[in-house]
A and B are shown apart, each in its own frame.
Chain A
Amino acid sequence: MLICDKLYKRYAKNAPYAVEDLTLKVGEGEIFGFLGPNGAGKSTTIKMIVSLLNSDSGEVSLDGITAKDDPIAYKRLIGYVADEPQFYDKMSANEHLAFIGDLYRIPQDERTERISKLAVTLRLQDALDDEIGSFSHGMRQKLAIISALLPAPKLLVLDEPMVGLDPKASFEVKNLLKEFAKEGKIVFFSTHVLEVAQQLCTSLGIINEGKLIYHGTFEALQNERDESLEELFLELTEKS
């Protein structure tokens, strides 16, 4: 289970909190959608979860392991897809994946099997020997997803994963995330596309001005008032 416990983060001493008193739990098999307007604190939260940023106070734990106590074991459990995937452009996709495989010490036969399965699913198999510098944004996004899934993490964190993907690729990624969650693993992703959240998420959190203003299922939210997610989202974020 992923637990964020009373997370606080601000970027300067007297600046307002980018994330304030954020507490949430995401259990096995859940696909958690993290929603919020621009600058609400989504990326800051995600960076604290994947341990790219240290929180000012509070802690994140995954299956009882925290990044502070055992950073290596913690990182081993997480796969991360950034909003703008960055790669060493002169590497080929295969070289990059071999690099990730070596860092996570994935045996050769396992990695070959996983790479070919994921590459076929995301239709990237023909470009694996190409230099990443020649990739389009969508191809980079697909490669980032394959890289994140290659070490078979317990938690997959994605920051705006659907941006730049064509409808078919977007459909494939959604299926991939569903399958991943079915295996009893956790998906945590941020998005601006409310339809994606509605279709995909088993639970969602809405953040505004650094504070988590809703955490629960979409159904529970809709049961309170008979409105679309878009209307509920706008209402909640304006009210706060």
Chain B
Amino acid sequence: MRIPVVLLLLKSYLKGTKPLRSVTQRFSFGKKKSVRTISGVVLSLLMLASLMSFVFLLGTNYYNYQLVGMMVGVPHVGLLMGAAFATLSLLIFAFPAAINILHAAKEIERIRALAISESELALSRMIIFYFNFFPIYLFFVIPALIVGIMTTGFSFFYLLSSLLLLLVGPMIPISLVSLLEVGVVHLTKGRRAQRSGELFYLVVMMALVIGISSQMGKNAEMTGNLEELTHQLAPVIKKLTRFLAPFALQAQGLYNPILLLVWLAGALLLAYITFTVTAGTYHHACSLLASGGYRTKKRRKNNTGEQKPIVALMKRDWTILLSTSGFIFELGGELLIPLILIITYTAMGIIGDISQATKVLAQYPIFEPVVVLIVLLMSNINLLSCTSVSRQGKLALHDRLYPLEPKIFVNAKFYLHMALVGTTNTIYLLAATLILKLSIGNLWFYVMLSLISIAGTSYFHLAIDYHNPLLEWTSAQQAMKRNPNGFLGMLVSFLFVVWVALFLVGLPYFFKTSQSNALMAALGMAVGTAKAGQRLAYRSAKGFLA
């Protein structure tokens, strides 16, 4: 294997994709340089602030784990949890991107025709895969390493072992995901490999998360007495350490050179095996994927009867939504979050506890609107509209050719948003009303308020994406998860719910207005804001489609 060739491949990837520059370019708006700079700085600061708040929350959690561990005589539990969270996150986030990065990226077909060996190309793709997810690992592990310094102090060995952990740690989940991906491609013979693999993976990961949660939940009935608490927690923490033994080894290796070497040897051996398997099967896997696409030539007799343009556009957007598993899983996951939570809590056996707790909380008048706001927040935080134009890719430019008013394009996307998000939100609200025994009389108004808020958010999301859509992408993740419009959209969703909350909860709390008056004020405000969002979306679409 020629290492200079591998380096050349990596260099060309970086030059060709310019990952950092494309991110900074996406974070600037406006035609004037000064406006672009200011918007870029503001958005970067917002992004940094939200990242820092997440890091702080993670750090606090790890710190608590670390202290509880010390109380029951099990050291470095916070570090163990940091390594476990980071690995689990990579296992979850990296798999959907694995096929696209390792075997099916658009440029691979071109590169494979060059005088490059399988192992050189496989290694370069594995390194690209590693660096794509390296930042996520850092995000989860660095707060744990800081907690380690806070609780046990700083040493040169700790610094060295931390650096090794940061560099070698991501290799474990990346290797496992790569091996699984190679297996899926071969098992499915390249036919719909991505979708079948993700489905299987989603089920396994859900089972794993629910399994861990229920195991922990069964031991989670705590008392207020410190001695008893320590007594009850000890078996839980010990069980956790046994269950997550590889991570315990990883955490202890930060302080013990022999354990560090054992862990390093294990991780590097796994990476080597993965490389051998991936490189050895690389050509075959690429070939299977390439031929799999042709074999799945599908014939279908669909209803192609006459429809209104807006319905045709909605159907078109629906087809795009179903075109890649990346879109399906992202949006499906977002729409089904409340359902997933209910399943998880039921499996953990704490749905009854929640029900008990709500009986107490229900006595407070603020409880009902807070439940409505929580359900609204869960529904509203999604990428459906704020990446809707981006999902069309370069084909979005074709919309300029069609003889239709820009608002028809906006409304088609808007109605699809309402059909998916509005419907699920209404179902969840109805379920919450029944389960938590909320007032049926108010339900109608809450449904109205939620639908208007979702409508307003959708219009703002469309305004964002029509203003500056990300049309050049090669994988579904780039169009959605890594699309800054998605981040902006989430921020707008959150702010919209806060805005509603100011009226719905703020008015009765601060100005002692009646709940019904607050509800009417919130409704009026939501209508006004939604109208403003609609105007903005129309203007934005006109700018893009003109």
- Residues in A lying within 8 Å of B, measured CB to CB: 50-52, 54, 71-76, 78, 80, 86-92, 94-95, 97-99, 101-105, 107-108, 111, 129-131, 133-134
Contacts and interface: CB of A to CB of B under 8 A. Distances in A.
Given A88-B323, A130-B297, A133-B293, A98 B405 contact: no
Interface centre among A78, A98, A130, A131 (most CB of B within 10 A): A98
A189 to B, nearest CB: 16
A72 B405 contact: yes
Given A90-B319, A130-B298, A103 B311 contact: no
B398 interface: yes
B300 A98 contact: no
A124 to B, nearest CB: 14
B297 A95 contact: no
Given A94-B302, A103-B402, A134-B294, A71 B315 contact: no
B312 A99 contact: yes
9 contacts: A78-B401, A89-B323, A94-B304, A98-B307, A101-B306, A103-B312, A130-B299, A131-B298, A134-B293
A71 B297 contact: no
B397 A52 contact: yes
Contact of A90 (B313, B322, B401, B404): B322
B316 interface: yes
A91 B401 contact: no
Given A71-B546, A103-B309, A107-B306, A88 B395 contact: yes
B319 A86 contact: no
A156 to B, nearest CB: 13
Contact of B300 (A72, A87, A92): A92
Contacts of A75: 401-403
Given A50-B401, A87-B395, 10 more contacts: A71-B546, A75-B401, A88-B316, A88-B319, A94-B304, A99-B315, A103-B403, A111-B306, A129-B301, A134-B294
Given A52-B397, A72-B404, A97-B304, A105 B319 contact: no
A101 B319 CA distance: 17
Contacts of A76: 403
Contact of B401 (A52, A88, A101): A52
Interface in B385-421: 394-395, 397-398, 400-405
A108 B302 contact: no
A9 to B, nearest CB: 16
Nearest to B298: A131
Nearest to B322: A90
B294 A99 contact: no
Contacts of A88: 316, 319-320, 323, 395
A102 B308 contact: yes
Contacts of B305: 98, 108
**6 tightest Cβ-Cβ pairs between the two chains A and B:** A102-B312, A98-B304, A75-B403, A76-B403, A134-B297, A90-B323
Interface residues of B, number: 35
A75 B398 CA distance: 12
Contacts of A74: 403
Contacts of A97: 304
A74 to B, nearest CB: 8
A52 B304 CA distance: 28
Contacts of A87: 395
A161 to B, nearest CB: 16
A129 B401 contact: no
A105 B300 CA distance: 24
A92 B300 CA distance: 8
Nearest to A99: B312
A226 B476 CA distance: 57
A69 to B, nearest CB: 12
A95 B304 contact: yes
Contacts of A89: 323
A52, A76, A99, most chain B CB atoms within 10 A: A99
A101 B305 CA distance: 9
Contacts of A52: 397, 400-401
A105 B309 contact: yes
B316 A86 contact: no
Contacts of A133: 293
B299 to A, nearest CB: 5
Contacts of B299: 92, 129-130
A111 B306 CA distance: 9
Contacts of A108: 305-306
A102 B294 contact: no
Interface string B431-450: 00000000000000000000
Contact of B394 (A86, A90, A101): A86
Nearest to B397: A52
A129 B300 contact: yes
A94 B300 CA distance: 9
B308 to A, nearest CB: 7
A138 B401 CA distance: 22
Contacts of B401: 50-52, 75, 78, 80
Contacts of B296: 134
A92 B302 contact: yes
A102 B309 CA distance: 5
A44 to B, nearest CB: 14
